[in-house]
Structure 1
Amino acid sequence: MPAVSAARGRPTSNGAGQKRRAGRPSAAVLDKSGITAAALELASRKGYEGLTMAALAKVLDVAPSALYNHVASKQDVLLLVEDHLMSLVDVSAFAAGNWEDAVRTWAWSYRNVFAEHTPLIPVIAVLPVTDAPQTLAMYETVSKGFSDAGFPQERIVPAIVALESFIFGSAYDVTAPEDIFESGSMADATPYFTAAVRSSARDADPSGGRAEANAQELGRPADTAFRMGLEALISGLGALRGR
């Protein structure tokens, strides 16, 4: 006779060779890394609004109730995603002691990570870091690096936020169309801006185009802008730390 599961009230078999019922896997197959990967894939395809618990359960091929055994809410899922992305940001250079080089390495890595996940920037940029171990570990390393470089304690977080604001905006710029500043029929009415745009395009590629062969050597316009802005921030923040 089949035994009755107390938890679900359904017949189960004591036979060692019984196969799991076809269809959705049990909650035991889920883990946080799998949930995180599925959430990232879903957000990349459908954006933040498309990242719902029901949609996530469907991607994972489990019942929503099984998903709730691992994460209590969408907020919990976002914390997993935030923690995963922040763990990819390179903070290793802060151990070397040169603050300027460390900020460069960290900022470029940070921008490149989020350039791959721009749909999540509006959410993660304002998501609390409470109980996110990898995220907090990143901020701890960066904060120590700033402190070791002589920043007063009360200026460390504002400096990090200033850099992050620039980093997130620059991550969007990586995916912007190349003709985003094209003035079109308004070129004659905006001569200074149009000339500046054309000049920056020639500077990016002296041949006058954006040939693929030259892209690696010359760098993308987004990289040029990021490099300029980052160096300005590093110089400005460095000058402020001793005041």
Structure 2
Amino acid sequence: MSPEPDARRPAGRPRAAILSRDRILEAAFALADERGGDFTLAALARALGVRPSALHHYFSNKDDLVAGMRGQLTLRVGDPGFGDLPWHEAILPWARSYRETLGRHPGIIAALATLPVDGEPESIADYDRIAQAFRRDGYPEHRIVPAIVAVESFIIGSALDALAPDDNLRPSDGASHAPTLEAAERAARRHSAEQGQSPATAAFEFGLRALVSGLRAAASAESE
């Protein structure tokens, strides 16, 4: 006669999914997409079906969690070749990937943009890789961080702009007092359509190249 099964150890997979750092981050992104970056750890714990104390085994506080989210996004952006390409070439695909990655999670952009990178290894490694490319290519050392900040600020703004209506700069009907702006806005939308791009993407591409060209020119003028 076979022994009776132990009722304390039910067969099959456990009912509750095992908590992990990756699972917490995935849930945090989903919550931020729904509620924005001001969600609480208590709300995140409820979404995961665990006690808030369980999260502290992985993240000490909300800032630590947001830092982990930024590290995750940094890994998704990737490295387009700062070790091999000139900085002004590598930064173009990096900026495009960065904008696209941020655009998937707009709710967390403000929190990511205002939190220091200290203690977040993925972002620090990424910024250092970019700084090395600038320095290798002879960029003035005291201008490297301002240049990175300028490009990143533009990317963040462009990621938010991509969420706005395509005609968000068009004057309202009957705004005859702004004929120049109205004509320019119409021309911009027509040109972006001819290029097969949305107005936001066309503006981003134009602004990115203009910004990078300006940063190169400013460095050259300073070194003369």
> Do they fold alike, i.e. is TM over 0.5?
yes
Question: How far does residue 189 in structure 1 lie from its aligned partner after superposition?
Answer: 1.2
Tell me how far apart the structure 1 counterparts of residues 205 and 76 of structure 2 sit (CA, whole Å). Answer: 20
Contact 1:44–1:117 under 8 Å retained in 2? yes
Deviation string 1:131-159 (CA, Å, 9 cap, x unpaired) is 11111111111111111111122111110
Deviation string 1:192-238 (CA, Å, 9 cap, x unpaired) is 101111111222235xxxxxxxxxx6111111111111111111111
Percent identity, aligned pairs only? 38
Tell me how far apart the structure 2 counterparts of residues 25 and 110 of structure 1 sit (CA, whole Å). Answer: 34
Tell me how far apart the structure 1 counterparts of residues 191 and 216 of structure 2 sit (CA, whole Å). Answer: 28
Identify which of 82, 85, 91 aligns with 1:103: 91
Q: Which residue does the alignment assign to 1:235?
A: 213
TM-score by length of 1: 0.82
Q: Which residue does the alignment assign to 1:143?
A: 131
Identify which of 25, 28, 33 aligns with 1:36: 25
Identify which of 148, 156, 159 aligns with 2:144: 156
Relative to structure 1, the CA distance from residue 72 to residue 99 in structure 2 (aligned partners, 3 Å threshold; closer, same or farther) is closer
Question: How far does residue 16 in structure 1 lie from its aligned partner after superposition?
Answer: 9.2
Gaps of 5+ in 2: 1-5
Contact 1:151–1:241 under 8 Å retained in 2? yes
Could you say which structure has the larger radius of gyration? 1
Trace 1:40-51 onto structure 2 (pairs within 5 A).
40-49=29-38, 51=39
Gaps of 5+ in 1: 1-14, 207-216
Identify which of 105, 110, 120 aligns with 1:117: 105
Relative to structure 1, the CA distance from residue 58 to residue 180 in structure 2 (aligned partners, 3 Å threshold; closer, same or farther) is same
TM-score by length of 2: 0.88
Contact 1:90–1:105 under 8 Å retained in 2? no
Question: How far does residue 86 in structure 1 lie from its aligned partner after superposition?
Answer: 1.3
Deviation string 1:35-84 (CA, Å, 9 cap, x unpaired) is 111100100011012x2111100111111122223222111111111111
